[in-house]
Amino acid sequence: MTKDRKAAEEVVQEVFLYAWLNSESYNEERSSVLTWLSMLCRSRAIDYLRAHATQHRVEINTLSADEFESADLSPAHACEAARRSIALKEAMIGLSPVQREAIVLSYYAELSHDEIASQMDLPIGTVKTHIRRGKQGMSANAALKD
């Protein structure tokens, strides 16, 4: 919370000292010891931040938009990626085990048709057919069409 290791250590030290000196104020019926100590730490950290707020103010005009960009997906993109992942899993479940294995080896393991044929001990034409039919079966999944 404090974004400063030394300040956080001071807050924790103050909390433990307070807890030691005021242990009679702890009521086990209201919360666990961990909850009580966490609440004390949170309160002390907020007090610290309020007391030092003027030191940490940043002039908004000096910041560029690049400082606010995140490498993480936006919530909308993360939701869409999760939805597509679920749809892909459901489509894969609908395939036969041989089709599923051929597609996984082709697209996820990035093996060539020859390598897949050798690994699955099938003729190359059969491997190609399993992959093509598997893709056709997956394309029937409406969620993947969007």
| Domain boundary assignment for the chain | 5-58, 87-145
Nearest by Cα to 130 from 97, 88, 93, 90: 97
Domain covering 87-145 in this structure, CATH number: 1.10.10.10
Would you say 69 and 111 are in contact if contact means Cβ atoms under 8 Å apart?
no
- What would the two tokens of residue 36 be? 């009580």
Beta-strand runs (E) in the chain = none
Residue 45: CB atoms within 10 Å: 19
Q: Over the chain, what is the mean pLDDT? A: 82
The pTM for the full model equals 0.46
The predicted structure's pLDDT at residue 132: 92
Q: Closest Cα partner for 106 from 74, 82, 138, 143?
A: 138
pLDDT, mean of residues 109-120 = 89
State the pLDDT confidence band at 143, using cuts at 50, 70 and 90: low
The number of C-alpha atoms within 13 Å of 142 and in the hemisphere containing its C-beta is 0
Percent of the chain with pLDDT over 90: 13
Write out pLDDT tens, residues 54-104: 655 555 555 565 655 666 767 777 788 788 888 888 888 888 889 988 988
